[in-house]
A = this chain, B = another copy of it.
Amino acid sequence: MTTPLRLGIAGLGTVGVGVVRIIRKQADLLEARTGRKITISAVSARSKDKDRGVPLADYAWEDDPVALAKRDDVDVFVELMGGDEGPAKDATEAAIRAGKDVVTANKAMLAHHGQELAEAAENAGLVIRYEAAVAGGIPVMKALTEGLAGNEITRVMGVMNGTCNYILTQMQATRQGYNALFDEADKLGYLEADPNLDVGGIDAGHKLALLSSVAFGTQVDFDAVELEGIQAITLEDIDAAADMGFRIKLLGVAQMTGRGLEQRMSPCLVPDQSPLGQLEGGTNMVVIEGDSVGQIVLRGAGAGEGPTASAVMSDIIDIARGLRLNTFGQPATTLRKARPAKAAVPAPYYLRMQLVDKPGALAKVAAVLGDAGVSIDRMRQYGHQDTSAPVLIVTHKVTRTALDEALAAMTNTSVVQGDPVAIRIEDVG
């Protein structure tokens, strides 16, 4: 293993440039650790002439990532373009057909096409690695796939979209509403071109689907992730949660239940003294629970040039060292199709609704909840100057199905204005 490992890097955005920078800066370290040189043969990006702050003249240029992927002087195709279809997928497939290992940071592509790509790669004796696709610099795919492989995984949770966590923690810190913080995040360049990827939970949902697959030995199934964004969260919700000792996080939860695989990405209340509750700003956290190990918490930067490039490098280094592993931890053909289970595990919920100010309104709401089998743990009605009053309710444990019935019935009463907000209170252990 003394021949160099030769890379072709497609995509020279933040992450691609970060990878080039590490390979140039840490050449000696990488050689000491892998026993061979790691070199770049060729690169590809949309615009050749843009100054990216790193010298690229040593590397061949390809306009077409597919051509890059097929080059004879490329051993590993490093896909850092993004997008679930189009050039990223075309070039990844071309790389596999040409016998190249693949390293990618592309959660969307793998969440949608991971199964077919993994099967193709494994058929050809190749690997696809994607540490950078999940939780940025945190080596979570490695921890789950290898470090905790002796465990039956019981639950995986994570705050994996830094932008959402930034918005939620800044709402609390600066006393501004969701829209103001959304605009601020936009100005800071924190949002994807389609912001719904962030605030709608899609990006984090992609990551959760990948974690689920490895954790439970199931085919990645992004369509089964129950998605709920943070757009409906108000400062009042954050304050009310804080009053009760909770914080609101966009939390992903995947767990195998008797009724099937539950995958949720939605706002949740978590105790403010828990590691998840204390997570500020753009930091990510993944919590993995296994039958033997108990709970493992991993925390670090979920995005940014250095952290994401660090994760890409770990995959490249594994390949350089000859550490070769199936994409989802076991042969793709042995992954089961999981039955999706909608929020099967009962939990307490936080409810917020606007109640018209007339006698018996609260009684009506309580009756509707009672009829649906939802019992009330705590209730709070705030003072008001309007013709309606905000009411907060914390329920005892209830299934989402029962709760949804109660919420539907509530809109049929004449006492609740608009749609009630329901946020799950997650028992984070």
- Chain A residues proximal to chain B, CB less than 8 Å: 18, 22, 26, 29-30, 32-35, 131, 137-139, 142-143, 146-152, 217, 273, 275, 278, 290-301, 304, 306-307, 309-314, 316-318, 321-325, 329-331, 334
Assembly CA distance A311 to B146 (angstroms): 10
Q: Which residue of B lies closest to A331 (CB)?
A: B35
What chain B residues lie within 8 Å of A146 (beta carbons)?
Answer: 139, 142, 146, 314, 317-318, 323
Report yes or no: A150 in contact with B323, Cβ–Cβ below 8 A: no
Q: In whole Å, how far is A21's beta carbon from the nearest beta carbon of chain B? A: 8
Assembly CA distance A139 to B318 (angstroms): 16
Q: In whole Å, how far is A240's beta carbon from the nearest beta carbon of chain B? A: 23
Assembly CA distance A330 to B313 (angstroms): 16
Q: Which residue of B lies closest to A305 (CB)?
A: B292
What chain B residues lie within 8 Å of A18 (beta carbons)?
Answer: 292
Report yes or no: A148 in contact with B297, Cβ–Cβ below 8 A: no
What chain B residues lie within 8 Å of A137 (beta carbons)?
Answer: 292-294, 296
What chain B residues lie within 8 Å of A273 (beta carbons)?
Answer: 278
What chain B residues lie within 8 Å of A30 (beta carbons)?
Answer: 149-150
A interface, over-half SS: mixed
Report yes or no: A293 in contact with B306, Cβ–Cβ below 8 A: yes
* A307-B293 in contact given A139-B146, A146-B317, A314-B146 (Cβ < 8 Å): yes
Q: In whole Å, how far is A335's beta carbon from the nearest beta carbon of chain B? A: 9
Report yes or no: B152 in contact with A148, Cβ–Cβ below 8 A: no
Assembly CA distance A150 to B27 (angstroms): 10
Report yes or no: B298 in contact with A310, Cβ–Cβ below 8 A: no
Q: Which residue of B lies closest to A322 (CB)?
A: B324
What chain B residues lie within 8 Å of A275 (beta carbons)?
Answer: 275, 278, 299
What chain B residues lie within 8 Å of A142 (beta carbons)?
Answer: 139, 142-143, 146-147
Q: In whole Å, how far is A235's beta carbon from the nearest beta carbon of chain B? A: 23
> Lowest 6 CB-CB distances: which A-B pairs, in order?
A139-B147, A150-B313, A292-B306, A293-B310, A137-B293, A297-B299
What chain B residues lie within 8 Å of A331 (beta carbons)?
Answer: 35
Report yes or no: A301 in contact with B310, Cβ–Cβ below 8 A: no
What chain B residues lie within 8 Å of A312 (beta carbons)?
Answer: 150
Per a CB cutoff under 8 Å, which of B26, B149, B298, B313 touches A298? Answer: B298
Q: A292-B309, A295-B301, A296-B298 are in contact. List 14 more A-B contacts (CB 8 A).
A: A29-B152, A138-B296, A139-B143, A142-B143, A146-B314, A146-B318, A147-B314, A150-B310, A150-B314, A273-B278, A278-B278, A295-B300, A298-B298, A298-B299
Q: Provide a sorted-by-A list of 9 A–B residue pairs whose CB atoms are within 8 angstroms.
A: A22-B292, A29-B152, A32-B217, A137-B293, A146-B146, A146-B314, A146-B317, A278-B278, A322-B324
Assembly CA distance A418 to B292 (angstroms): 48
The interface centre, meaning the residue of A33, A35, A304 with most chain B CB atoms within 10 A of its CB, is A33
What chain B residues lie within 8 Å of A325 (beta carbons)?
Answer: 321, 323
The interface centre, meaning the residue of A35, A149, A296, A317 with most chain B CB atoms within 10 A of its CB, is A149
Per a CB cutoff under 8 Å, which of B150, B278, B300 touches A22? Answer: B150
Q: Which residue of B lies closest to A30 (CB)?
A: B150
Assembly CA distance A312 to B278 (angstroms): 31
